Structure 1
């Protein structure tokens, strides 16, 4: 067992390809390494090496800064845990290595598959949050295209060799064009607006101060952190940021990104964050409705919210009850240091707190937005 290094990228990417997960470029790994919350000594992950010293199993290590009142708290999220059959037994060792790293007050994953979900309780992690740890919500926008996606997935499961012959399927015209248009031209409901100002003196900065001031354990949503997230070089379409206003003040915001899980899945609008001030929980449903209205114009066949919590389910109300329930196993697990256990029970994670923002497969529409930005700056 040793820390991941950039020289491991080809082997780690090969592991990702073997399980059908998107790979990151060296530039993308360097961006992850520039995470403002990451201490210099914290690895990007760990690998189990084979006899030749090559990475044969992997777990990623996403360091995230949380706040509890005025105190900064470091959390470590595990991501992209890949252990091939030849490395059987490496998974517990990799996860324990992540859990034992210094200077982190809690360890968690918000994206466990059914097999891993059975492993985590044996390693000391418990399902968290109590309400919602097993729930993923999906709103079907285009049932015909989603039906074709299920048909293709079933066909590939029966005949895995088909995957290499099918190529990229179910890409709608709107999704193929979304990278070349200004999304901010799309109309929004009253009270909802596009957020483009991520400066330290923006209304989003004020909202962050108010969210932090509510006193619960909360992931860092400062403008500086959001600017770093928006700079992911793997993105092909800029994330959507929507705000909800009341009396001229921002009371909630939502973040989403267009994704296409695999070549045989239809495009989806993935909700990365959905949060509002405690006294303005009506903003959650308003922001969600706006995203659902935008989805067909973006070419999304479905909208997904892959991490929820009890308060979020309550705030969504009828929207949550009308969504399709996916998952069904405990995909969210956490272990808190003793002094943080009480705060951990009131943690309200969204996909933002986990690895979804950088582990989703981007829309396959050609150039990346970071490259386009570099070209414009050079011109």
Structure 2
């Protein structure tokens, strides 16, 4: 056992000897594990990331919520004047900071508003005499399937003070009671909310591996430091992280794309605002292929979706051309964790004409290169159809399981129910729901 661990173990053993042999054995086992971590620190760091457990500091942060016996709360629809109260509630609940500009984007500038038969609700709140204690946002979206335009609703920003958690299912039921909605989509919710959604007869996406997140470590040293900060690790485990980064770096070098075809078809980067006519042409050609359920990817919807007011995230749009015609694009979302400084890239969307594997792989390699060039510590891929994931699996990614079903849906259309039971009927990705829609 290394000297620093041996001394700390002896000190703890002397201090707590009165607790008995059981405690001593547990402590001895723990410090043996820390010793082995010198050689397996990379495994420990990756296990922490996979576990998705919150550090104690974050858990304590929720103590600001009221824990007294709840006073009566009434439910009503959200109004624009609720912004400040909802923003404070979301902040207490640990959600990302929102802005008035984003509320205008979601409920005034939304392209789906011009298509729906009726004006959909902005969402619902639980309100007491002291203020708002629960919130469920509701964002209208458009989908396309077999030449048919579907009006969808996605649940966004669910947050409820602990004393009122029993009322969560009431908010969710209101979401599903909406009229003139063809499809309800909820993404990346908590395990408890997911179970309540299923109690309301919603279903998880049929794709069996959709809950497996693929990721690559791009900067092992910075990744280790950010992960240690995320989990509030003490000096001992921080040292393990320092020891682990060279091991992790060596392991990470074995992962990622082996070839570089980025310039094979001519890949270039544009800004979100420059998404225009050639994207519309690609989108219309895509809709004539095998019928699948697509979230609307018209230029107006793409620009609206990836313009995130008040967000520190940045977006890169990568375009692939063949003979001067756009044959595919990929969109990368770059984020920085406000607490740990973790720089993360996510493949937010990818669309390729006829699912051409050469174009797809070219774009995926360009996305990976973009993440590296941006100085990100981590590159993640969540969801996407099987043919895209098969290419990525050849890059030997790390894999972690999402703690719950990443996409849950419901429809009252019996024909659509039967169709969507087949995973091949979907083109599901982080573009669906609110996974990349919110700041």
Q: What TM-score, normalized to structure 2?
A: 0.69
Task: Give the superposition deviation at 1:238.
Answer: 4.6
**1:289-315 deviation per Cα after TM superposition (whole angstroms, max 9, x unaligned):** 111112122121111223333343234
1:17 to 1:199, Cα distance in 2 relative to 1, 3 A:
closer
- TM-superposed CA distance for 1:75, in Å, is 1.2
> Which residue of the partner structure matches residue 44 of structure 1?
122
The answer for the alignment partner of 2:402 in structure 1 is 327
Aligned pairs for 1:15-34 within 5 A: 15-33=89-107, 34=109
Residue of structure 2 in register with 1:102 after alignment: 179
Match of 2:45 in 1: none
The alignment status of 1:341 with 2:417, answered yes or no, reads yes
The alpha-carbon deviation at position 199 of structure 1 amounts to: 7.1
Q: What residue is the counterpart of 1:80 in the other structure?
A: 157
* 8 Å CA contact retained: 2:312, 2:336: no
Q: Does 1:111 align with 2:185?
A: no
Q: 2:436 aligns with which of 338, 357, 362?
A: 357
CA distance in 2, matches of 1:196, 1:188: 18
Deviations for 1:258-316, whole angstroms, at most 9, x for unmatched residues? 11233214111122112223341333332121111121221211112233333432343
Does the Cα contact within 8 Å between 1:198 and 1:223 map onto a contact in 2? no
User: What is the deviation of 1:197?
Assistant: 8.4
Alignment partner, residue 219 of structure 1:
295
Q: Could you tell me how far 1:79 is from its partner in structure 2?
A: 1.6
Question: Which residue of the partner structure matches residue 249 of structure 1?
Answer: 325
> Which moved further from structure 2: 38-47 or 290-299?
38-47
Residue by residue, what CA displacement relative to the aligned partner does 1:74-104 show, whole Å, maximum 9, x if unpaired? 1111121112211121211111111111111
Please tell me whether residue 142 in structure 1 is matched to residue 216 in structure 2.
no
SS in 2 for 1:8: helix
Q: Look up the SS of the partner of 1:356 in the other structure.
A: coil
Q: Which of 358, 365, 390 in structure 2 is aligned with 1:282?
A: 358
Once superposed, what is the RMSD of the aligned Cα atoms? 2.5
Q: Structure 1 CA distance, aligned partners of 2:105 and 2:177? A: 24
CA gap of 1:197–1:49, structure 2 versus 1, over 3 A, is closer
2:231 matched to which residue of 1?
154
User: What do residues 165-216 of structure 1 show as CA deviations (whole Å, max 9, x unaligned)?
Assistant: xxxxxxxxxxxxxxxxxxxxxx953322224586796221111111222222
Among residues 373, 389, 397, which one is paired with 1:313 in the alignment?
389
- SS of alignment partner, residue 37 of structure 1: helix
Which one has more relative contact order, counting CA pairs under 8 Å at least 6 apart?
1
Structure 1 length-normalised TM = 0.79
Determine the C-alpha separation between the residues in 2 that align with 1:91 and 1:134: 24
Equivalent residues of 1:129, 1:332 under 8 A apart: no
What runs of 5+ residues in structure 1 fail to find an aligned partner? 158-186, 361-379
Q: Which residue of 1 aligns with 2:18?
A: none
Q: For 2:436, what is the secondary structure of its paired residue?
A: helix
Cα pair 2:262 2:365 within 8 Å, conserved: no
Alignment of 1:257-296 (within 5 A): 257-296=333-372
Q: Which secondary structure does the structure 2 equivalent of 1:349 belong to?
A: coil
Residue 239 (structure 1) aligned with residue 336 (structure 2): no
1: CA distance, partners of 2:192 / 2:106: 27
Indicate if the aligned counterparts of 2:124 and 2:137 stay in contact, CA closer than 8 A.
Answer: yes
| 3-state secondary structure, aligned to 1:299 | coil
Task: Tell whether 2:264 aligns with 1:190.
Answer: yes
Larger mean Cα displacement after TM superposition, 38-47 or 81-90: 38-47
The answer as to whether partners of 1:268 and 1:304 remain within 8 angstroms in 2 is yes
Secondary structure at the counterpart of residue 351 of structure 1: coil
Shift in Å, 1:68: 1.2
- Report the count of equivalent residues: 329
Gap change, CA 1:218 and 1:152, over 3 Å in 2: same
Contact conserved, 1:132 with 1:309, CA < 8 A, in 2?
A: no
SS of the residue 1:11 aligns to = helix
How far, CA to CA, are the matches of 2:294 and 2:225 in structure 1?
A: 39
Shift of 1:221: 0.5
User: 2:272 touches 2:316 (CA, 8 Å); kept in 1?
Assistant: no
Residues 154 and 184, structure 2, Cα contact 8 Å, conserved in 1: yes
For residues 107-157 of structure 1, give each alpha carbon's deviation from its aligned partner in whole angstroms, at most 9, with x where no partner exists: 121212233233322121111042333222222111222222221122189
Work out the CA distance in 2 between the residues paired with 1:156 and 1:117. Answer: 30
Unpaired stretches in structure 2, ≥5 consecutive residues:
1-74, 235-260
